[in-house]
């Protein structure tokens, strides 16, 4: 990413796309925390890592990576699964619904010429992040989405040919 800012209204339009994801029981479990300055999140993320990692496990290189991860991004969106109040809906279906919402964001971003990166690293899936975001025990961070503009696009290649992933039953 090159550091160029995305207009907030375009990020809002991506969130509107996310809101149209499929959802079992109409629970709409997706919630989003949007950082209009990506480095603000990256700095908080690194500090969370530092504060919640023991001295013997702390790695300065990981701290620096997290601290600088958003330096060239425009926005960061934290995608969260907020568990609904219908216990008959399996947790996996709530997670899948949020994943569909994330996919809508990523497809919309691509259509607008916006680069994206979906991360689950760092503190994303750890309990200190849940506490930082004031999430409930049954809620989950599904990912951290970095959005920005890039000077070039990745080639979009796949390592396994599509034909090897499909079984036709006729």
Domain that holds residue 12: 8-153
Say what the pTM is.
0.93
pLDDT at residue 152, rounded to an integer: 87
Q: Is residue 30 a contact partner of residue 18, using CB atoms and an 8 Å limit?
A: yes
Q: Which helix (H) or strand (E) holds 41?
A: helix 38-52
What's the rounded mean pLDDT across residues 24-39?
96
Q: The domain spanning residue 108 has which CATH number?
A: 3.40.109.10
Q: Which of residues 165 and 86 earns the better pLDDT score? A: 165
Distance between CA atoms of residues 122 and 53, nearest Å: 11
* Structural domain count, the chain: 1
Residue range 3-12, pLDDT digits in tens: 999 999 999 9
Evaluate if residue 51 carries a pLDDT over 80: yes
Residue range 57-111, pLDDT digits in tens: 999 999 999 999 999 999 999 999 999 888 899 999 999 999 999 999 999 999 9
For residue 65, tell me if it sits in a domain. Answer: yes
Q: Specify the length of the chain in residues.
A: 170
pLDDT at residue 155, rounded to an integer: 73
33 DSSP assignment = E
pLDDT at residue 87, rounded to an integer: 85
Residue range 101-143, pLDDT digits in tens: 999 999 999 999 999 999 999 999 999 999 999 999 999 999 9
For residue 40, tell me if it sits in a domain. Answer: yes
Cα-only R_g, the chain? 17
For residue 82, tell me if it sits in a domain. Answer: yes
Expressed in angstroms, the distance from the first to the final Cα of the chain is: 45
What's the rounded mean pLDDT across residues 26-50?
97
For residue 64, tell me if it sits in a domain. Answer: yes
For residue 168, tell me if it sits in a domain. Answer: no
pLDDT at residue 110, rounded to an integer: 95
Q: List Cβ neighbours of 121 (8 Å cut-off, separation of 6 or more).
A: none
């Amino acid at each position: 990413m090159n550091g160029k800012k995305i207009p907030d209204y375009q990020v809002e339009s991506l969130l509107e796309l996310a809101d149209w994801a499929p959802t079992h029981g109409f629970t709409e479990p997706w919630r989003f925390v949007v950082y209009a300055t990506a480095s603000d999140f990256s700095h908080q993320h690194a500090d969370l890592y530092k504060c919640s990692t023991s001295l013997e496990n702390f790695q300065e290189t990981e701290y620096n990576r997290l601290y600088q991860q958003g330096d060239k991004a425009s926005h960061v969106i934290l995608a969260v699964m907020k568990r609904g109040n219908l216990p008959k809906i399996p947790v996996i279906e709530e997670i899948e619904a949020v994943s569909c919402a994330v996919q809508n964001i990523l497809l919309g971003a691509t259509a607008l010429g916006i680069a994206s990166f979906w991360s689950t690293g760092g503190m994303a899936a750890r309990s200190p992040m849940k506490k930082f975001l004031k999430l409930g025990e049954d809620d989950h961070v599904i990912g951290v989405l970095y959005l920005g503009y890039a000077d070039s696009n990745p080639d979009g290649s796949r390592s396994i040919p599509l034909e090897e992933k499909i079984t036709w039953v006729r």
